[in-house]
Amino acid sequence: MYWIKNGGFLMYFILLMSVLGTGVIIERFIYFRTKEKNDFSDIKPVLRKYIEEDNVKGAIGYLSNSKSSTGMVLKEVLSFWNKTNTTNIVTLEEKAREAALSQIPLLERNMWLLSIVAHTTPLIGLLGTVTGMIKAFQAVAIHGTGDAKILASGISEALFTTAGGLFVAIPALIIYNYYNRKIDEIINDMEKGSTEVINYFRR
């Protein structure tokens, strides 16, 4: 409350952004922690064993227990092959691409909100800086420079909003870029995993 009291009404917007950003960070952390904890390097040894034994149904059953995006894509490819028994590589690649595209919205869910927080909050802080300085100079124009408290009040508001905006934006931007990196790694896993599985049918 001290920061809000001294930072002016724009601090409420910064507070709202911090709550929104924190909510997205927690939601994405839970998602990646529970759904994407197994990457392709974890799945690959077991999957290879099933495929080398020509036990595609066993591989599908194994992948059914995987909650990861990579596991879901590989399951779709193998299930499609099991149903159609097609060895047409182009068709299998299209199926893999279709399955991967269906997973990407789940990976990127709410990331746009975190991006807004990371990129908009510093601007709100900057706006607070401008309005605070305007107040300070207006006070000087009206009351003169005899009372330093009048000038200090506006400058204080400017600095509080600037600091508040940066305090929220910096960790949001760091975590936003970390999550984007995580998403890129998962997409790369999906592509690599589906390519390796489809290459099996080239033989």
19 vs 193, higher pLDDT:
19
Indicate the Cα dihedral angle 181, 182, 186, 188, nearest 10°. 20
Residue range 95-146, pLDDT digits in tens: 889 999 999 999 999 999 999 999 999 998 888 888 777 776 676 666 655 5
pTM of the full structure: 0.83
DSSP3 helix / strand / coil % (the chain, rounded to 5): 85, 0, 15
175 vs 11, higher pLDDT:
175
Query: Is residue 81 predicted with pLDDT exceeding 60?
Result: yes
CA distance 32 to 179: 9
Length of the chain counted residue by residue? 203
Q: Are 80 and 95 in contact (CB under 8 A)?
A: yes
pLDDT of residue 144: 58
190 vs 42, higher pLDDT:
190
Q: Are 39 and 71 in contact (CB under 8 A)?
A: no
Number of domains the chain is built from: 1
Could you list the beta-strand ranges (E) of 33-187.
none
The mean pLDDT value of the chain amounts to 83
| Band (168; pLDDT cuts 50, 70, 90) | very high
| Strand, helix or coil for residue 66 | coil
Query: Is residue 71 predicted with pLDDT exceeding 80?
Result: yes
* Residues spanned by the domain of 63: 2-200
CA distance 175 to 203: 43
185 vs 148, higher pLDDT:
185
